[in-house]
Structure 1
Amino acid sequence: MTVTRRGFLGITAATLATTSAATSPAAASPVATRSAAPPGGGTPSRTLYLGTYTSSPGGGSGIGIATYEANGKISATGVLSGVEDPSFLVTRGRHLYAVNEQRAGGVTAIAIDAPGKLRILNRQPNQGSAPCHLTIAGDYLLSANYGSGDLAVHPIRSDGSLGQQTDLVKHKGTTPHAHQVLQAGKYVLAVDLGTDSIYTYTLADGKLLLRHQTTLKTGAGPRHLAFHPSGRYAYVANELDSTITVCRYDNGRLTPTNTVSTIPPGSPQNYPGEVITSPDGRFVYLTNRGHNSIAVFATSAAGSALSLVSTPSCGGDWPRHCALDPSGRLMFVSNQRSNNVTTFAVAHRTGGLTQTSSFSIPTPVCVSV
């Protein structure tokens, strides 16, 4: 498979765009936003940061900033411009980090001076192509490069800005496409759609060392994984054959145990996107792009098996990403092609989803709560 497959799967021209000049701190002024406190007191709203594509026709102009109420209704409060193609975001404390998903990829560090008030610290190239995911591991920011099939490592300075890259590790194979990187205890896991593999690394002094490689079914196309709260099982969303694989996890090693479909029989062509677990581990949620639904799975008591419960509509077209709010009672779904983020109320007992609102924004591809 080649990078053009990413365009076929609905990923915009952002992966082929030329990287703009790095944004300097002097050029990045703080964004003015409306207060999140409701008039006359009451429960304050919470802040959302929204990843978009800026280089696609009709795309966004940077990182969207919004608030949401207790009922899930979203209101726009501003945009941080000057960040190119911020298709995936992650926060830690008073800092936000974004990929720049372009041919010459990069990562951007942003200060959160107050909820909804953002200021660019700096941008660093990551020597890879089309970074689409990142994670924080200790004092390092790791990014996964889909186009070049490698992982980049940048140190995080004491002020939250990013230092020069300390490592770049390429996955071996004909067409590697690193799609996710995440920390699992003392290990770093990387999911690669092109090699049908999940790689286990250790990270020390800014360097990654490969410890293990788990290979899934040929052509499955693993995209993302999420852990059961126990840490004993992981659920892998397979983009190319529309399945989800349960893996037993122990000391950095994943062992596939069973695989189920993410859509009912007779469904249209479909490509799973994001996968997440409920805080109590009783349910797993997965976005179906094509079927345009959210697959709701019930887990076994220990999390070792999944059963498909329902596939409610995502409320839009091409649901690339989803996230739960800290309470676990609300879910936000980024519908890339219909330019909206839908909010769902989550039923604690059944795991069921009920859409409560829809918010318009150009090419939403990530929600950071």
Structure 2
Amino acid sequence: MVDEAGRGSGSAYIGSFTSAGGRGVVAAAVDRETGALTVTGASGAVPDPSFLIAAPGGDVLYAAGETEDGAVAAFDVTGPAPRLLGAPAPVRGTHPTHLALVHGHVLTANYGSGSVSALPLGPDGVPKPATGVLPHRGSGPHPDRQEGPHAHQVVPAPGGRWVLSVDLGTDSVRVIALDPATGGLTPHGETALRPGSGPRHLALHPSGSHVYVLAELTPTLTVCRWNPATGTLAPVEEVALPTDTVNYPSGIAASRDGRFLWAAVRGADTIAVLALDESGERPRPVTAVPCGGRWPRDLALDPEGRRLYVANERSGDVTWFDIDPATGVPSRAGAIQVPAATCVAFA
């Protein structure tokens, strides 16, 4: 796509909490030369979209509505503003916070009910009601945040056979199997992490050999080896993030070349930078830079891996950063106002 100035452009989508003054699902054009975002339209058809993911090809976008009666909605994003496709489909869980596209299904991590749901996609890409729901079991030592399971993220595992579900309430990552024919979900294994750490999100090494689990209740990162043949996740090392304040890490991303990790840290309001060795098992804290706003809920790499985009929820903006290819250190390049921003996704 080419913008009015004749420069190449792409598309980005920003979630924003409607209950906090956000516009819902926000579409933006991306200037590929500068990284700048320009809002082109929005839809408030789904309340409180906490996470967005684009289908392959980029014509359809999925949004998780983080409400008590959680739902997933599909949007046509071929025009300047997102257009709702069909009715939002119930996930049979509460407060979904994350989405994944797996074998013709959209999977949701349901924080409130502590479960993972699978919703089949119709030929038009519209999700149908959940066919499979897998409840998590367990709790953790934190009295307010770990009274029960709280699934926060669901990610296709390298190798294509399994799905990983990160649970903040049970201090663990589950390995799940999805039956593409029935949409059924089956537990395969569970990896325990340090009690009270509260794992929230993970990132994958581009080789598929390692998984990096970011904890919310402690400023730490756990490195795990991944075996795609057996579907097992084995913790190797826990590393402290470069921060010295009370904080709550949120999102994490890995560089396309496997040399760096970036983690958004709320409270400290920073982006933590870590360098990886050749094995991928030894993250080294490098530095932390200001996130450009307050309460960075999530971050995302652009499709080329040259820039980071940070959704700053409480300051109501999305800030983008150019990444130094030699050091991995981000430098602020610009920002736009998006009230109650939750995430950024690219087509």
> Structure 2: 5+ residue runs without aligned partners?
140-147
8 Å Cα contact 1:245/1:260 also seen in 2? yes
d(CA) in 2 for partners of 1:118 and 1:182? 26
In the other structure, the counterpart of 2:142 is none
Q: Does 1:268 align with 2:230?
A: no
Correspondence for 2:40: 77
Alignment of 1:88 with 2:88, yes or no, is no
Match of 2:277 in 1: 300
Is contact 1:192–1:198 with CA below 8 Å preserved after alignment?
Answer: yes
Q: 2:166 aligns with which of 191, 195, 198?
A: 191
* Aligned twin of 2:316: 339
Question: Aligned-pair RMSD on alpha carbons?
Answer: 1.3
Deviation at 1:113, TM superposition (A): 2.9
Q: Which structure 1 segments of 5+ residues have no match? A: 1-35
Q: Distance in 2 between matches of 1:338 and 1:113?
A: 29
Change (3 A) 1:95 1:327: same
2:8 matches 1:44: yes
Question: Is 1:144 aligned to residue 106 of structure 2?
Answer: no
Query: Does residue 203 of the first structure (1) align with residue 169 of the second (2)?
Result: no
Matches within 5 A, 1:314-353: 314-353=291-330
| Large movers: runs of 4+ above 6 Å | none
Partner of 1:22 in structure 2? none
Work out the CA distance in 2 between the residues paired with 1:201 and 1:115.
37
Contact 1:196 / 1:217 at 8 angstroms: preserved in 2? yes
The answer to whether structure 1 residue 177 and structure 2 residue 150 are counterparts is yes
- In 2, Cα distance between the equivalents of 1:273 and 1:263? 14
Deviation string 1:250-282 (CA, Å, 9 cap, x unpaired) is: 122111111111133xx2211110011000010
User: Aligned AA for 2:37?
Assistant: I
Aligned match for 1:227, one of 204, 215, 220: 204
Asked if residue 360 in structure 1 is aligned to residue 337 in structure 2, the reply is yes
Q: Distance in 2 between matches of 1:180 and 1:117?
A: 24
For the residues of structure 2 that align with 1:115 and 1:137, how far apart are their CA atoms?
27
Q: Secondary structure at the match of 2:173?
A: strand
TM-score normalized by the length of structure 1: 0.87
Contact kept? 1:110, 1:122, Cα under 8 Å: no
Alignment partner, residue 135 of structure 1 = 100
Helix, strand or coil at the partner of 1:98: strand
- Equivalent of 2:27, from 65, 79, 82? 65
Residue by residue, what CA displacement relative to the aligned partner does 1:321-364 show, whole Å, maximum 9, x if unpaired?
11111111111001000111111001111111110111111111
In the TM superposition, residue 299 of structure 1 has moved relative to its aligned partner by: 0.3
The residue aligned with 1:257 is 236
Q: Which letter does structure 1 place at the counterpart of 2:153?
A: Q
Q: What amino acid maps onto 1:111 in structure 2?
A: D
Contact 1:89 1:98 in 2 (8 A): yes
Q: Which residue of 1 aligns with 2:18?
A: 54
Matched residue count: 329
* Contact 2:153–2:201 (8 Å) recurs in 1: yes
Q: In 1, distance between residues paired with 2:129 and 2:71?
A: 11
1:32 is matched with none
What is the CA-CA distance between 1:117 and the residue it aligns to? 5.0
C-alpha deviation, 1:55, in angstroms? 1.3
SS of the aligned residue for 1:181 comes to: strand
Give the fraction of aligned pairs with identical amino acids, expressed as a percent: 40
**Contact 1:54 1:85 survives alignment (8 Å):** yes
- CA distance in 2 between partners of 1:119 and 1:99 (Å): 13
Alignment of 1:17-28 (within 5 A): none
Counterpart secondary structure, 2:202: strand
Matched ranges for 1:233-248 at <5 A: 233-248=210-225
**1:39-80 deviations in Å (ceiling 9; x for gaps):** 35x223221110010112xx2122111112121221111112
* CA distance in 2: counterparts of 1:240 and 1:81, whole angstroms: 31
Asked if the contact 2:40–2:80 (Cα under 8 Å) also holds between the matched residues in 1, the reply is no
SS of the aligned residue for 1:55 comes to helix
C-alpha separation in 2, matches of 1:117 and 1:108: 11
- Tell me the TM-score normalised to structure 2 length: 0.92
Distance 1:82 1:214 in 2: 37
CA distance, structure 1, for counterparts of residue 318 and residue 335 of structure 2: 6
